[in-house]
């Protein structure tokens, strides 16, 4: 039996539709969290630093994600804080593997998204689907040229987050690989 493909999850965009027009999209709850990476970019003592980052999360996503035929892992700047702060709200296990980025927001010499090269290294030749709001055609082409296993790069609009059609795409892709 072969291992299931990886599903590499970003938080902001796919799970947290941070650009949503509505303050609370249907099915989502809103909370304020204090992730370390975000706090480091805020002025200490400022209003935003005290209040925290507004995060919209859909509690139904955990069950939908765990029902997919994948091994889940975090591919987010939240890193281990995704297990601590995001997983309990959406209903995911609090011990998912985490990609630890060598350098956050590093500029890539070829114009790739800064996550792309470290993510490929972490996947270590395994089939994977990656959901993120910042994936570009350049990243898709790079992965196709440098990753021998099947890969699906699924760009999620940060205004909408993961939708039923995205879950259907992930299900179809896993079934075909």
The domain limits of the chain are 6-19+58-176
User: What mean pLDDT is reported for the chain?
Assistant: 95
CA-based nearest residue to 158, from 55, 19, 24: 19
In this prediction, residues 69-87 reach a mean pLDDT of 97
In this prediction, residues 42-50 reach a mean pLDDT of 91
Give residue-wise pLDDT tens across range 14-40. Answer: 999 999 987 778 899 999 999 988 898
Which segment of 12-26, 49-63, 73-87, 112-126 scores lowest on mean pLDDT?
12-26
> Whole-prediction pTM value?
0.94
Which segment of 39-43, 66-70, 130-134 scores lowest on mean pLDDT?
39-43
Output the pLDDT for position 24: 77
In this prediction, residues 100-120 reach a mean pLDDT of 95
Q: What is the β-pairing status of strands 6-9 and 128-132?
A: parallel
Tokens of 103: 């350098």
Query: Is 83:17 a contact under the CB 8 Å cutoff?
Result: no
Output the pLDDT for position 177: 85
Q: Does residue 2 carry a pLDDT above 70?
A: no
Query: Is 164:119 a contact under the CB 8 Å cutoff?
Result: no
Can you tell me the distance from the alpha carbon of 117 to that of 108, in angstroms, rounded to the nearest whole number?
9
Q: Phi/psi class of residue 124: alpha, beta or left (left: φ > 0; alpha: ψ in -120 to 50)?
A: left
Provide Rg for the chain, Cα atoms: 16
| Class of domain 6-19+58-176 as given by CATH | alpha beta
Outline where DSSP puts E strands in the chain: 6-9, 29-33, 53-57, 71-74, 128-132, 151-155
Query: Is 174:68 a contact under the CB 8 Å cutoff?
Result: yes
């Amino acid at each position: 039996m072969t291992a299931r493909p990886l599903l590499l999850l970003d938080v902001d965009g796919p799970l947290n539709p941070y650009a949503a027009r509505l303050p609370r999209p249907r099915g989502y709850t809103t909370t304020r969290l204090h992730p370390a990476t975000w706090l480091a970019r805020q002025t200490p003592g400022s209003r935003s630093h005290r209040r925290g980052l507004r995060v919209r999360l859909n509690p139904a996503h955990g069950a939908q994600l765990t029902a997919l035929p994948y091994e889940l892992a975090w591919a987010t700047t939240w890193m281990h804080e995704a297990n601590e702060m995001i997983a309990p709200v959406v209903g995911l296990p609090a011990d998912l593997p985490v990609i630890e980025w060598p350098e956050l927001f590093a500029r890539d010499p070829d114009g790739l998204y800064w996550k792309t090269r470290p993510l490929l290294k972490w996947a270590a030749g395994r089939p994977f689907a990656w959901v993120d709001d910042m994936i570009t055609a350049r990243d898709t082409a790079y992965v196709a040229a440098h990753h021998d296993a099947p890969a699906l790069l699924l760009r999620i609009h940060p205004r909408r987050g993961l939708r039923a059609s995205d879950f259907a795409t992930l299900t179809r892709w896993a079934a075909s690989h």
